[in-house]
């Protein structure tokens, strides 16, 4: 049997691990036999040398088995979750989960917090007064069974190896490695006890994957590994060259997601939610195709069932369900400052990364995992790509804790908008689709 140091050297030399070797590394890490600096060395070797599908499969399973795998057998039906790789203004989960549950597909969702320029579902949920994302696994399963959906954070018992390894990846510049991303995402999702998964792989300046080819590579790897784990998996590639929807910031985004449940909301947010939700209904056996899936989701909105599930979800998580019908109960920042166009023209670009970082600077996000967030602050887009504006037209409204903070952010926010003398069409929202039948290898 090779020593742990020999296993690190093996990957450093670009050799493929034999079956059981990666599992041994993970088990040793969790037992304290393998030091953090040694795992960091192996992660860098994997980043530089890559991992085969077999290695990625074993890493995913070893991280999955490092903790509790939930048993959702008491929940009838095909359990389906959705995961986004992260974007700016991406509040889809908040409206999608109750809509899908209202159509009869149980949605057990373990979500994350924002880090860097992207937001997190848990931070948005906690903008709802009283909402708890730290339910026990027993209460999580009970809520999925009784309400049809529950949304919590990763517990200490669910894929603890992933939590430990991600912290090391974050400080060793090894985050942007597709096999490590795949293992991180799927180890958590498979630990939920789901039957199927829909993935939203974001593409563009506001996403971690900047180009379509790289995003498709990630999507195919996720589908391939998830399928080999016995799950039905579909991935959509969706545009993140501009922010999704009209708001960036926790309470602002929660309010916008609630608008979707009432049949309102920005067209791009609605379209993205329907596209992902329809795939979930097909995988969950409630729709024969995505066309019927979208019809069922729209009906759940118009007859009030989606909003009803949201009320029940919030109540089950000890939050104030009145926010569904009275969104003004959500917190608001005390200072509002409109940023105006400094010239006339067509809006041809809205930089999602810069606006995401601007929201973080206001306090809406975090630069370290241990930081808290200000749920009240953020940005509200008043124009969209393709709009024609005059000089002095309000482009965006800054929601800030103080006037000084808003004024400090004004130049950066204005510079995030590109105005031109001519317009050009916006890219399509859905850029591609990957399932098991479309894999290239």
Question: Known catalytic residue: 83?
Answer: yes
Catalytic residue among 79, 188, 189, 397: 188
Per DSSP, 154 falls in state P
d(CA 379, CA 356): 9
CB 67 within 8 A of CB 159: yes
Residues 6+ apart with CB under 8 A from 37: none
Sign of CA dihedral 106, 112, 113, 116: negative
Question: Known catalytic residue: 169?
Answer: yes
Catalytic residue among 81, 162, 195, 435: 162
Catalytic residue among 66, 93, 150, 184: 184
How open is the CA angle 62-67-71, to the nearest 5 degrees? 105
Q: Which of 166, 160, 157, 154 is nearest to 83 (CA)?
A: 154
Helices (H), 172-266: 178-191, 212-228, 250-261
Extract the runs of DSSP E, i.e. beta strands, from 71-175: 80-84, 107-111, 149-153
Catalytic residue among 11, 82, 169, 311: 169
Question: Known catalytic residue: 184?
Answer: yes
Q: Which residues pair with 397 in a beta bridge?
A: 338, 380
Question: Known catalytic residue: 401?
Answer: no
HSE-CB of 439 using CA atoms within 13 angstroms? 17
Catalytic residue among 83, 113, 202, 353: 83
Catalytic residue numbers read 83, 162, 169, 184, 188
């Amino acid at each position: 049997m090779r020593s742990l140091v020999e296993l690190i050297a093996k990957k450093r030399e670009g050799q493929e691990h034999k079956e059981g070797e990666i599992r041994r590394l993970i088990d040793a890490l969790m037992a304290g036999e393998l030091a953090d600096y040694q795992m960091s060395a192996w992660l860098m070797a994997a980043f530089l040398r890559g991992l085969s599908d077999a290695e990625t499969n074993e890493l995913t399973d070893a991280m999955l088995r490092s903790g509790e795998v939930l048993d959702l057998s008491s929940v009838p039906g095909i359990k389906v979750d959705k995961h986004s790789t992260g974007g700016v203004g991406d509040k889809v989960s908040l409206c999608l989960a109750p809509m899908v549950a209202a159509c009869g597909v149980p949605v057990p969702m373990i979500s994350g917090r924002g880090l860097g320029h992207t937001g997190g579902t848990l931070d948005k949920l906690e903008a709802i007064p009283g909402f708890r994302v730290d339910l026990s696994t027993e209460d999580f399963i009970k809520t999925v069974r009784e309400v049809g959906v529950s949304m919590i954070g990763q517990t200490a018992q669910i894929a603890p190896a992933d939590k430990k390894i991600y912290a090391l990846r974050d400080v060793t510049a090894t985050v942007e490695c597709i096999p490590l991303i795949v293992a991180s995402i799927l180890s958590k999702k498979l630990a939920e006890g789901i039957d199927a998964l829909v993935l939203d792989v974001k593409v563009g300046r506001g996403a971690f994957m900047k180009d379509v080819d790289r995003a498709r590579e990630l999507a195919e790897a996720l589908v391939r590994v998830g399928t080999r784990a016995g799950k039905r998996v579909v991935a959509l590639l969706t545009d993140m060259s501009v922010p999704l929807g009209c708001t960036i910031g926790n309470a602002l985004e929660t309010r916008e997601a609630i608008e979707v449940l009432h049949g309102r909301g920005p067209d791009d947010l609605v379209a993205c939610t329907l596209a992902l939700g329809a795939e979930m209904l097909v995988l969950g056996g409630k729709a024969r195709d995505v066309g019927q899936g979208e019809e069922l989701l729209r009906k759940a909105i118009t007859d009030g069932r989606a909003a009803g599930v949201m009320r029940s979800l919030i109540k089950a998580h000890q939050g104030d369900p009145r926010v569904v019908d009275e969104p003004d109960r959500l917190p608001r920042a005390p200072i509002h400052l409109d940023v105006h166009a400094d010239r006339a023209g067509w809006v041809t670009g809205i930089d999602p990364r810069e606006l995401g970082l601007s929201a973080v600077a206001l306090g809406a996000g975090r630069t370290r995992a241990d930081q808290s967030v200000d749920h009240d602050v953020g940005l509200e887009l008043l124009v969209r790509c393709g709009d024609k504006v005059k000089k002095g037209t309000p482009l965006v409204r800054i929601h800030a804790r103080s006037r000084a903070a808003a004024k400090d952010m004004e130049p950066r926010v204005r510079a995030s908008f590109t105005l031109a003398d001519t317009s050009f069409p916006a890219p399509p929202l859905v850029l591609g689709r990957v399932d098991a039948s479309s894999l290239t290898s």
